[in-house]
Amino acid sequence: MKSAEEIFNILKENFNDNIKELVKQPVDPYILCDPLKINEISLFLLSNEGLLFDNLMNLSGVDDANGMSTTTGSITTIEGGTLSVYYHMESTKFRHKVVLRVSTPREKPEASSVALVWRSADWHEREAFDLLGINFLNHPDLRRILMPYDWEAGYPLRKDYANPEFYHGMKVPY
Amino acid sequence: MAIKTEEMVLNMGPQHPSTHGVLRLELILEGEIIQKVTPHIGYLHRCFEKHCEAMTYPQIIPYTDRMDYLAAMYNEFGYVIGVEKLLGIQVPERVEYIRVIMGELQRIASHLVAIGTYGADIGAMTPFLFAFRDREVILNLFEITCGARMLYNYIWVGGLSHDLHPDFVRLTREFITYFRPKIVEMNELLTTNRIFIERTANVGILPLETAINFGITGPMLRGSGFKWDLRKDDTYSVYNRFDFNIPIGEGKVGTVGDCWDRYYVRILEMGESLRLIEQALDQLPEGNVTSAIPKRIKPPVGSVYTRVENPRGELGYFIISNGTTSPFRVKVRGPSFVNLGIMDVLCKNHMVADVIAILGSVDIVLGEVDR
């Protein structure tokens, strides 16, 4: 059973600059990583003898809404800032847990996919793509999952999302 | 002369009695053999997570009920544990015990639906009626407790909406004595039924490594032979004070991890839940269930991931607080959502009729898959 600090140090040794910092907070400290290297980091976490993170509990996309926000009338737009993905994983053998976080620019949100490391990430990543528009590189089947396949009004979980007026001729706020 | 063959695409659902809601499975068939299954979900999507960002913490509780509507108590349970962790508050002992009792009653009710409808899917109508008759008793217990039969809004942050009804303890004990023989009856009626075994044993075998890699949890994972239950392995509330077993699939009539194992784990779990309720009733302390409810719920900045053992598996809530009265982000890790992702692996090279047996053994609730 390893603490977050120990896991952070192991990762730092192996991935140097791709591991940014260990962010401490009252519950669940998290490790900030490079979004384009997250697949390699994940594979390391899964296959390293002393870590064996075999279960990805959860993967969540988050709109950090930390850019410039401008409001005109009822429409808010956010420019700049980041979108983030949180990875919660645990080892069923050693019973330790860790949280990773990657942040990717809002204009070009890209992170490498971990769907081939943990197959459970497949649908979670599709959901993050669907609701936040985060593009997971090398994902085997990146399609919308919860929203209709032809939804063109954007990504609902972004903080500056506005409902379209019509969808296929039906009024949306009915 | 060569016979012309080609793959056939068959849509199962969205309106199909065995999909337990609006789920569409796109089956690619070669003759009667499944080549590929693609689940299409989202027909019930109402963006629960977006709603959360506009509501205060207590207002979200009734919404969590509506995700997994067959295990609403447990959804509330998981959510309030998350918020309490963010707030850093302790709840009175009595509250914890009542939560455990409600959670376990809910587990039995939910498993009864799973078992009953599973029988009905496969063609046995009687077990369905038997299961619903027994579930009715549990719903009556919930009704005298909080007035609602399915969507309770009973477990609140820091406490409960009401204390127990004066008759609750007596009626629950009566239920336990009433229900124990019913499990035996269900075993005689369905579990050991020859036709049922033929339909479910050696069907949809889920190997353990695959299950873990796909993030499968709950009775499905235990059916594959892995002793993993968050009530013991990542204990919460007061579960560490009780003595109970974790049943696992042993391949009694087929192979470990087949549909029958997943079904039988649920049967055994009902017995364990009865034991848990009995112990909790014996130890139930006195106290005030509303005293610890905070007047104003405004957690400090931070994030938390909590998980509980829902009847279907690991129900996780990832809550980010930005220091205001509404959460910045709530992400729900629904067990049905994750478990459904494995349909393709389970169904491959099986017959069309087996899809129904496999889907029933996964036990999904579409309200939670789609959120």
- Interface predicted TM-score of the whole assembly (ipTM), two decimals: 0.88
Distance CA A97, CA A7 (A): 9
DSSP assignment of B313-357 equals: EEEEEEEEE-SSSS-SEEEEE-HHHHHHTTHHHHHTT-BHHHHHH
B162 and B146 Cβ atoms separated by less than 8 Å: yes
User: Cβ B215–A63 below 8 Å, yes or no?
Assistant: no
Distance CA B320, CA B299 (A): 10
User: Cβ A122–B341 below 8 Å, yes or no?
Assistant: yes
Contacts with A30 from chain B: Cβ below 8 Å = 303
Contacts with A92 from chain B: Cβ below 8 Å = 212, 226, 228
pLDDT at residue number B254:
82
How many inter-chain contacts (A to B, CB under 8 Å) are there?
A: 92
A147 min Cα distance to partner chain B (Å): 6
DSSP, collapsed to helix, strand or coil, labels residue B1 as: coil
pLDDT at residue number B12:
85
User: Cβ B341–A58 below 8 Å, yes or no?
Assistant: no
Nearest CA in chain B to A94: B233
Taking each helix axis from N to C end, the angle separating B352-362 and B259-283, rounded to the nearest 10 degrees, works out to 20
Which residue is it, tokens 């207590």? B58
User: Cβ B228–A92 below 8 Å, yes or no?
Assistant: yes
Q: What is the DSSP letter of A156?
A: T
Contacts with A148 from chain B: Cβ below 8 Å = 42
Contacts with B45 from chain A: Cβ below 8 Å = 146-147
Task: Provide the residue-wise pLDDT of chain B in tens; the chain has 371 residues.
Answer: 678 778 888 888 787 777 777 888 888 988 888 888 998 988 888 888 888 888 899 899 998 888 888 889 999 999 999 899 888 888 888 999 999 999 999 999 999 999 999 888 888 888 899 999 999 999 999 999 888 888 888 998 888 888 888 889 999 999 999 999 989 988 888 888 888 888 888 888 888 888 888 889 889 889 888 888 888 888 888 888 888 889 988 888 888 888 898 899 999 999 999 999 999 999 888 888 888 888 888 888 888 899 898 898 889 999 998 888 889 989 999 898 998 888 888 888 888 888 888 888 888 888 888 88
pLDDT at residue number B112:
92
Take residue A1 and report the two structure tokens written for it: 């059973």
Those residues whose C-beta lies under 8 Å from the C-beta of residue B55, and which sit 6 or more positions away, are: B63, B326
DSSP assignment of A85-134 equals: EEEEEE-TTT--EEEEEEEEESSS-EEE--TTTSTTHHHHHHHHHHHH--
Contacts with A58 from chain B: Cβ below 8 Å = 305, 316, 318, 331, 333
Identify the CA nearest to B318 among candidates B121, B83, B25. Answer: B83
Nearest CA in chain A to B82: A27
Question: Band of the pLDDT at A92, cuts 50, 70, 90?
Answer: confident
pLDDT at residue number A174:
57
DSSP, collapsed to helix, strand or coil, labels residue A71 as: strand
> Within an 8 Å CB–CB cutoff, is residue A15 touching chain B?
no
A107-116, A159-168, B154-163, B348-357: least confident range:
A159-168
The amino acid at residue A43 is L
* Closest partner CB to B41 (pick from A119, A145, A161): A145
Torsion angles phi and psi, residue B39, rounded to 5: -75, 135
A18-32, A50-64, B147-161: least confident range:
A18-32
Q: What is the dihedral of CA B182, B188, B189, B190, to 10 degrees?
A: 100
User: How far from chain centre, in Å, is Cα B352?
Assistant: 26
User: Cβ A58–B333 below 8 Å, yes or no?
Assistant: yes
Mean pLDDT of the A63-69 span: 80
DSSP, collapsed to helix, strand or coil, labels residue A6 as: helix
Contacts with A118 from chain B: Cβ below 8 Å = 213, 215
Neighbouring CB atoms inside 10 A of B296's CB total: 7
A14 min Cα distance to partner chain B (Å): 24
Q: Which residues of A142-170 are buried (b: 16+ CB within 10 A; e: fewer)?
A: bebbbbeeeeeeebbbbbbbeeeeeeeee
pLDDT at residue number B175:
92
Beta pairing, strands B21-22 & B15-16:
antiparallel
